[in-house]
Structure 1
Amino acid sequence: MSKLKVVFFASLRESLGIAETELEILQDMTVAQLQSLLAKKMPDGELLLQSGIQASIDLEFAREADVVTVETKEVAFFPPVTGG
């Protein structure tokens, strides 16, 4: 069992009304599984399931299929990056 810090950035943080949370994970899971878990546990958590939400695992860019291990310290979620 390990404590995982989950951080939310930019408009995602504003929409969720929370900058970060902490949860205990009992086993490895994919980023997509973590998003689904958080979507069920958090008010307005379904925002994490929107298309284009990006993630990082311990400060490294991550895809939905990448694994969050019990040794992972931090996962961050942020809205799609737009340019102009």
Structure 2
Amino acid sequence: MITILFFAQLREQLNCDKTDLGIDAPVSISLLRETLVTKNPAWETFLANDKLLFSVNQVLVKAHHLVKDGDEVAFFPPVTGG
């Protein structure tokens, strides 16, 4: 089981701050995104954003990074300043 967290504006758009997902083998963040969209089609617009940032176990990673059972994955929009 992996824990998936959503932060900031993304959390508001998805109306979800956390979900769990069982996986049988390591998967990339990209495949994880596709799986989430398959389970929640309304999320596609928000999760398809190519500017999203990802972390695994609180370390920033790229979309090709593999996640495994027990990992904590976080999705968040790019940081903007003003």
- TM-score, normalised by the number of residues in structure 2: 0.91
Runs ≥4 in structure 1, deviation > 2 angstroms? none
Look up the match of 1:65. 64
Look up the match of 2:76. 78
- TM-score, normalised by the number of residues in structure 1: 0.89
Look up the match of 2:47. 48
More strand per residue: 1
Residue 38 of structure 1: how far off its partner (Å): 0.6
CA 1:43–1:19: 2 relative to 1, 3 Å:
farther
1:22 aligns with 2:20: yes
Residue 45 of structure 1: how far off its partner (Å): 1.8
Which ranges in structure 1 are unaligned for 5 or more consecutive residues?
none
Residue 73 of structure 1: how far off its partner (Å): 2.3
Which ranges in structure 2 are unaligned for 5 or more consecutive residues?
none
- Offset from partner CA, 1:21-69 (integer Å, 9 cap, x none): 0111111111111011111112522111112011100110010011112
- Considering only aligned residues, what root-mean-square deviation do their CA atoms show, in Å? 1.1
Distance between the aligned counterparts of 1:43 and 1:13, measured in 2? 16
Q: Determine what percentage of the aligned residue pairs are the same residue.
A: 36
